[in-house]
Amino acid sequence: MRDVPNAEALLSGRVAVVTGGGGGIGAATARLFARQGAHVVIADVDAELAGRTVEHIAASGGSALAAIVDVRDRDQVTGWARSVLDRYGRVDVLVNNVGHWLRHPGNFADTDPQLWDELYRINLHHVFVVTHAFLPAMIRARAGAIVNVSSVEGLRGYPEDPVYAAFKAAVIHFTRSLAVQVGRDGVRVNAVAPDVTESLQVPYSRWLSAEEQSQWPQWVPVGRMGVPEDQARVILFLACDQSAFVTGHTIPTDGGTGAAGGWFRSPRRPDREWTNRPIAP
Protein backbone atom coordinates (compact mmCIF):
# COMPACT_ATOMS: atom_id res chain seq x y z
CA MET A 1 0.00 0.00 0.00
CA ARG A 2 1.39 3.40 -1.01
CA ASP A 3 1.47 6.27 1.47
CA VAL A 4 0.36 8.82 -1.14
CA PRO A 5 -2.27 11.30 0.14
CA ASN A 6 -5.69 11.16 -1.53
CA ALA A 7 -8.80 13.30 -1.55
CA GLU A 8 -10.35 11.29 1.27
CA ALA A 9 -7.24 11.06 3.45
CA LEU A 10 -8.11 11.68 7.07
CA LEU A 11 -4.98 13.73 7.83
CA SER A 12 -4.32 15.30 4.45
CA GLY A 13 -1.71 18.06 4.71
CA ARG A 14 -1.54 17.96 8.50
CA VAL A 15 1.67 17.91 10.52
CA ALA A 16 1.76 15.02 12.97
CA VAL A 17 4.42 14.47 15.64
CA VAL A 18 4.94 10.95 17.01
CA THR A 19 7.35 10.30 19.87
CA GLY A 20 8.96 6.89 19.92
CA GLY A 21 8.04 6.59 16.25
CA GLY A 22 10.91 4.32 15.32
CA GLY A 23 9.34 1.00 16.26
CA GLY A 24 6.30 -0.83 17.55
CA ILE A 25 3.12 1.17 18.08
CA GLY A 26 4.89 4.45 17.26
CA ALA A 27 6.15 3.20 13.90
CA ALA A 28 2.78 1.70 13.00
CA THR A 29 1.15 5.03 13.87
CA ALA A 30 3.67 7.02 11.82
CA ARG A 31 3.16 4.78 8.79
CA LEU A 32 -0.63 4.95 9.04
CA PHE A 33 -0.60 8.72 9.47
CA ALA A 34 1.55 9.04 6.35
CA ARG A 35 -0.87 6.86 4.38
CA GLN A 36 -3.59 9.25 5.51
CA GLY A 37 -1.76 12.26 4.11
CA ALA A 38 0.12 13.63 7.12
CA HIS A 39 3.61 15.09 7.16
CA VAL A 40 4.99 12.87 9.93
CA VAL A 41 7.69 13.99 12.35
CA ILE A 42 9.28 11.20 14.40
CA ALA A 43 11.28 11.58 17.59
CA ASP A 44 13.26 8.60 18.83
CA VAL A 45 16.49 7.84 20.67
CA ASP A 46 17.26 5.00 18.26
CA ALA A 47 18.59 6.48 15.03
CA GLU A 48 18.47 3.17 13.18
CA LEU A 49 14.85 2.47 14.00
CA ALA A 50 13.77 6.04 13.25
CA GLY A 51 15.62 6.01 9.93
CA ARG A 52 14.04 2.73 8.97
CA THR A 53 10.53 4.09 9.56
CA VAL A 54 11.24 7.25 7.58
CA GLU A 55 12.69 5.21 4.72
CA HIS A 56 9.60 3.00 4.65
CA ILE A 57 7.30 6.02 4.51
CA ALA A 58 9.38 7.77 1.84
CA ALA A 59 9.58 4.62 -0.29
CA SER A 60 5.80 4.43 -0.19
CA GLY A 61 5.41 8.03 -1.34
CA GLY A 62 4.74 9.63 2.03
CA SER A 63 6.32 12.51 3.92
CA ALA A 64 8.37 11.88 7.05
CA LEU A 65 11.20 13.43 9.03
CA ALA A 66 13.11 11.93 11.96
CA ALA A 67 15.00 13.56 14.81
CA ILE A 68 17.11 11.84 17.42
CA VAL A 69 15.66 13.22 20.63
CA ASP A 70 15.53 11.98 24.21
CA VAL A 71 12.08 13.22 25.16
CA ARG A 72 13.00 13.02 28.85
CA ASP A 73 15.41 15.92 28.30
CA ARG A 74 13.62 19.28 28.36
CA ASP A 75 16.38 21.15 26.53
CA GLN A 76 16.46 18.61 23.70
CA VAL A 77 12.68 18.72 23.39
CA THR A 78 12.57 22.51 23.39
CA GLY A 79 15.13 22.76 20.60
CA TRP A 80 13.47 20.01 18.58
CA ALA A 81 10.01 21.57 18.92
CA ARG A 82 11.37 24.92 17.78
CA SER A 83 12.90 23.33 14.69
CA VAL A 84 9.65 21.52 13.84
CA LEU A 85 7.59 24.69 14.19
CA ASP A 86 10.14 26.70 12.19
CA ARG A 87 10.00 24.12 9.39
CA TYR A 88 6.25 23.54 9.19
CA GLY A 89 4.76 26.57 10.93
CA ARG A 90 2.40 24.46 13.01
CA VAL A 91 1.71 21.05 14.55
CA ASP A 92 -1.77 19.62 14.11
CA VAL A 93 -1.38 16.28 15.87
CA LEU A 94 0.83 15.16 18.75
CA VAL A 95 1.12 11.52 19.80
CA ASN A 96 2.95 11.02 23.11
CA ASN A 97 3.79 7.38 22.56
CA VAL A 98 7.01 6.88 24.56
CA GLY A 99 6.79 4.68 27.64
CA HIS A 100 8.48 1.70 29.25
CA TRP A 101 8.21 -0.51 32.35
CA LEU A 102 12.05 -0.65 32.29
CA ARG A 103 12.55 -3.82 34.33
CA HIS A 104 10.81 -6.14 36.76
CA PRO A 105 11.15 -4.36 40.12
CA GLY A 106 10.04 -7.03 42.57
CA ASN A 107 7.98 -5.98 45.59
CA PHE A 108 7.50 -2.26 46.13
CA ALA A 109 9.00 -2.47 49.63
CA ASP A 110 12.28 -3.60 48.09
CA THR A 111 12.48 -1.08 45.24
CA ASP A 112 15.11 1.61 44.86
CA PRO A 113 13.73 5.18 44.77
CA GLN A 114 16.00 5.81 41.77
CA LEU A 115 13.78 3.43 39.81
CA TRP A 116 10.74 5.52 40.71
CA ASP A 117 12.46 8.54 39.18
CA GLU A 118 13.36 6.62 36.03
CA LEU A 119 9.80 5.36 35.64
CA TYR A 120 8.46 8.88 36.18
CA ARG A 121 10.69 10.40 33.53
CA ILE A 122 9.92 7.88 30.81
CA ASN A 123 6.21 7.40 31.49
CA LEU A 124 4.88 10.75 32.72
CA HIS A 125 7.48 13.54 32.78
CA HIS A 126 8.05 13.38 29.02
CA VAL A 127 4.30 13.72 28.40
CA PHE A 128 4.38 17.00 30.28
CA VAL A 129 7.57 18.18 28.54
CA VAL A 130 6.56 17.39 24.97
CA THR A 131 2.99 18.60 25.39
CA HIS A 132 4.24 21.84 26.95
CA ALA A 133 6.53 22.38 23.95
CA PHE A 134 3.84 22.00 21.27
CA LEU A 135 0.58 23.02 22.98
CA PRO A 136 1.05 26.81 22.72
CA ALA A 137 1.25 26.58 18.92
CA MET A 138 -1.96 24.54 18.86
CA ILE A 139 -3.70 27.08 21.07
CA ARG A 140 -2.58 29.92 18.82
CA ALA A 141 -3.95 28.04 15.81
CA ARG A 142 -7.09 27.14 17.77
CA ALA A 143 -6.78 23.60 16.43
CA GLY A 144 -5.00 20.44 17.43
CA ALA A 145 -5.34 16.86 18.63
CA ILE A 146 -3.16 15.26 21.29
CA VAL A 147 -3.19 11.50 21.84
CA ASN A 148 -1.38 10.03 24.84
CA VAL A 149 -0.46 6.36 25.05
CA SER A 150 -1.13 5.08 28.56
CA SER A 151 -1.62 1.40 29.45
CA VAL A 152 -4.22 -1.02 30.69
CA GLU A 153 -2.15 -0.98 33.89
CA GLY A 154 -3.27 2.62 34.42
CA LEU A 155 -6.87 1.39 34.57
CA ARG A 156 -6.52 -1.64 36.85
CA GLY A 157 -4.44 -2.74 39.79
CA TYR A 158 -0.98 -3.85 38.65
CA PRO A 159 0.62 -5.93 41.41
CA GLU A 160 3.90 -6.39 39.53
CA ASP A 161 4.74 -2.67 39.58
CA PRO A 162 2.49 -0.21 41.47
CA VAL A 163 4.80 2.71 40.61
CA TYR A 164 4.57 2.13 36.85
CA ALA A 165 0.80 1.75 37.20
CA ALA A 166 0.57 5.03 39.12
CA PHE A 167 2.33 6.97 36.37
CA LYS A 168 0.19 5.38 33.64
CA ALA A 169 -2.91 6.31 35.64
CA ALA A 170 -1.55 9.85 35.93
CA VAL A 171 -1.29 10.04 32.12
CA ILE A 172 -4.99 9.23 31.95
CA HIS A 173 -5.93 11.89 34.48
CA PHE A 174 -3.65 14.46 32.85
CA THR A 175 -5.42 13.66 29.57
CA ARG A 176 -8.83 14.17 31.14
CA SER A 177 -7.92 17.37 32.97
CA LEU A 178 -5.99 19.05 30.14
CA ALA A 179 -8.82 18.27 27.73
CA VAL A 180 -11.24 20.25 29.86
CA GLN A 181 -8.80 23.14 30.20
CA VAL A 182 -8.01 23.57 26.49
CA GLY A 183 -11.26 22.45 24.90
CA ARG A 184 -12.45 25.96 24.09
CA ASP A 185 -9.03 26.67 22.54
CA GLY A 186 -9.81 24.16 19.79
CA VAL A 187 -7.48 21.46 21.15
CA ARG A 188 -8.68 17.94 21.89
CA VAL A 189 -6.80 15.56 24.22
CA ASN A 190 -7.46 11.82 24.39
CA ALA A 191 -5.58 8.63 25.19
CA VAL A 192 -5.41 4.91 24.51
CA ALA A 193 -4.69 2.18 27.05
CA PRO A 194 -3.18 -0.85 25.27
CA ASP A 195 -2.97 -4.41 26.51
CA VAL A 196 -1.77 -7.73 25.04
CA THR A 197 -0.19 -5.99 22.05
CA GLU A 198 3.14 -6.93 20.48
CA SER A 199 5.66 -4.12 20.92
CA LEU A 200 9.38 -3.53 21.35
CA GLN A 201 8.99 -3.69 25.13
CA VAL A 202 6.50 -6.58 25.13
CA PRO A 203 7.48 -9.08 22.40
CA TYR A 204 4.80 -11.70 23.05
CA SER A 205 5.79 -13.65 19.95
CA ARG A 206 9.15 -14.36 21.65
CA TRP A 207 8.00 -14.50 25.25
CA LEU A 208 5.20 -17.04 24.99
CA SER A 209 5.69 -20.76 24.79
CA ALA A 210 3.91 -22.85 22.18
CA GLU A 211 1.40 -23.85 24.86
CA GLU A 212 0.69 -20.22 25.71
CA GLN A 213 0.44 -19.19 22.05
CA SER A 214 -2.31 -21.77 21.53
CA GLN A 215 -4.37 -20.24 24.32
CA TRP A 216 -4.87 -16.75 22.91
CA PRO A 217 -8.59 -17.49 22.32
CA GLN A 218 -8.96 -18.34 26.02
CA TRP A 219 -6.91 -15.36 27.17
CA VAL A 220 -8.25 -12.54 25.00
CA PRO A 221 -11.96 -12.17 24.15
CA VAL A 222 -11.22 -11.19 20.53
CA GLY A 223 -9.21 -14.41 20.23
CA ARG A 224 -5.77 -13.17 19.27
CA MET A 225 -2.75 -11.11 20.24
CA GLY A 226 -2.88 -7.42 19.40
CA VAL A 227 -0.48 -5.95 16.85
CA PRO A 228 0.81 -2.36 16.65
CA GLU A 229 -1.55 -1.58 13.79
CA ASP A 230 -4.52 -2.25 16.09
CA GLN A 231 -3.36 0.59 18.31
CA ALA A 232 -2.47 2.84 15.38
CA ARG A 233 -5.98 2.69 13.94
CA VAL A 234 -7.53 3.90 17.19
CA ILE A 235 -4.89 6.61 17.54
CA LEU A 236 -5.74 7.74 14.00
CA PHE A 237 -9.42 7.97 14.93
CA LEU A 238 -8.59 10.18 17.91
CA ALA A 239 -6.24 12.31 15.83
CA CYS A 240 -8.59 13.03 12.93
CA ASP A 241 -11.89 14.86 12.51
CA GLN A 242 -13.88 11.63 12.82
CA SER A 243 -13.56 12.14 16.59
CA ALA A 244 -14.20 15.90 16.55
CA PHE A 245 -16.67 15.65 19.46
CA VAL A 246 -14.49 13.34 21.58
CA THR A 247 -12.12 14.76 24.17
CA GLY A 248 -10.90 13.85 27.63
CA HIS A 249 -11.36 10.13 27.15
CA THR A 250 -9.13 7.07 27.29
CA ILE A 251 -10.03 4.15 25.05
CA PRO A 252 -8.99 0.73 26.39
CA THR A 253 -7.41 -0.86 23.32
CA ASP A 254 -7.13 -4.27 24.93
CA GLY A 255 -9.02 -6.85 22.90
CA GLY A 256 -11.52 -7.13 25.74
CA THR A 257 -9.12 -8.15 28.53
CA GLY A 258 -10.23 -5.31 30.77
CA ALA A 259 -13.80 -6.52 30.56
CA ALA A 260 -12.85 -10.14 31.12
CA GLY A 261 -10.11 -10.44 33.72
CA GLY A 262 -6.85 -9.37 35.27
CA TRP A 263 -3.77 -10.62 37.08
CA PHE A 264 -3.45 -13.97 38.90
CA ARG A 265 -0.99 -15.49 41.34
CA SER A 266 0.89 -18.27 39.62
CA PRO A 267 2.70 -21.11 41.42
CA ARG A 268 3.95 -22.18 37.99
CA ARG A 269 6.22 -19.13 37.78
CA PRO A 270 8.71 -19.36 40.68
CA ASP A 271 10.64 -16.37 39.35
CA ARG A 272 7.61 -14.05 39.37
CA GLU A 273 4.55 -14.28 41.57
CA TRP A 274 1.98 -12.82 39.18
CA THR A 275 0.83 -13.62 35.65
CA ASN A 276 -1.64 -12.29 33.11
CA ARG A 277 -0.62 -14.88 30.54
CA PRO A 278 -2.85 -17.69 29.24
CA ILE A 279 -1.69 -20.42 31.60
CA ALA A 280 -3.43 -22.02 34.52
CA PRO A 281 -2.75 -19.65 37.42
Which is the catalytic residue, given 88, 120, 158, 164?
164
Give every CB contact of residue 206 below 8 A, 6+ residues apart in sequence. Answer: none
CA–CA dist 107, 98 (Å, integer): 25
- Cβ burial, residue 265 (10 Å; 0-12/13-18/19+): exposed
The four Cα atoms 141, 63, 66, 151 give a dihedral, to 10 degrees, of 70
Of 58, 59, 45, 129, the C-alpha closest to 94 is: 129
Q: Is 164 a catalytic residue?
A: yes
Tell me if residue 2 falls in helix, strand or coil: coil
Catalytic residues: 164
